[in-house]
Structure 1
Amino acid sequence: MAEATQDTGAASATRNTPARISIWAAFLGASLIAGIFLTPMFWLLYGGFYTFLVFAFGVVAIPAGHLGRRRGKHLDGRDRGVALLGIVTGWTLIFFSLLLVLAYAGLLAGLAYLAGSTS
């Protein structure tokens, strides 16, 4: 029974946890972007919440990806590609969240202009 405990301890020691955190954060952020396109009414209602979560997942994915790349170097390249994908996706999420802020501000400005032109 003690051998089984030692085996799982050795397996978890060689696991590249930051790379896995990075890819999960990137996946969740990309899922939110898909949700924004599939349900635009929810984005209009809860735009700030969606945008904040996309930005937060991007901010988590980038440093975790860098840590995963560094840890992967010590683990003979284990999950370094996954960590790099997390870094690239994290930067894409941050860029997309900034575009969402601009789109939301443009939508509100356009509606304000239309409301002002009717009176």
Structure 2
Amino acid sequence: MTSNIGRTTTPTAVHRNVPARISIWSAALGVSLIVAAFATPMMWALYGSYYTFFMALFGVVAIPTGHVGRFRGKRLGGRDRGLALLGIVTGWLLLLCALLLVLAYIGLIAGLALLTDAVR
């Protein structure tokens, strides 16, 4: 009879790169917000600030989890490193789009302020 004391067991499940998958899902959700904004312009006009906030939030989540996924993928023999890189790049693009939208909002408000001042 053999005992299991002192014996290390390896998990039977395949090691997965969870941060890389979180990164790509976050990036995909952010991109779906952009697609939804173009598909439903009236919703964008009503709830544009929510779209922008969540776009930036998904970008902020995608970038660090993508970096963690790249480092973890290196330890797992390259598993899901491409997904993590895609999450990083898409996360930065989401942040860029959110920044451009915030600047567009500021420009819109400034332009309307100038127009109303010119009317008086």
The answer to whether TM tops 0.5 is yes
Equivalences for residues 8-87 of structure 1 within 5 A: 10-12=12-14, 14-87=15-88
Q: Percent identity?
A: 63
* Structure having the larger proportion of residues in helix: 1
Aligned to 2:119: 118
Instruction: Provide Cα deviations, 1:23-72, integer angstroms capped at 9, x if missing partner.
Output: 00000000101112222222222122111100000000001101110110
Separation in 2, partners of 1:114, 1:79? 52
Aligned to 1:107: 108
Larger radius of gyration between Structure 1 and Structure 2: 2
Separation in 1, partners of 2:12, 2:71? 19
Aligned to 1:92: 93
Amino acid across the alignment from 1:100: L
Separation in 1, partners of 2:12, 2:68? 20
Contact residue 22 and residue 83 of structure 1 kept, 8 A: yes
Paired residues in the alignment total 112
Instruction: Provide Cα deviations, 1:87-108, integer angstroms capped at 9, x if missing partner.
Output: 0000000011000101111122
Query: TM-score scaled to structure 2, two decimals?
Result: 0.84
Structure 1 unaligned segments of length 5 or more: list them: 1-5
Superposed CA RMSD: 1.9
Q: What SS does the corresponding residue of 1:77 show, helix, strand or coil?
A: coil
Separation in 1, partners of 2:109, 2:40? 19
Query: TM-score scaled to structure 1, two decimals?
Result: 0.85
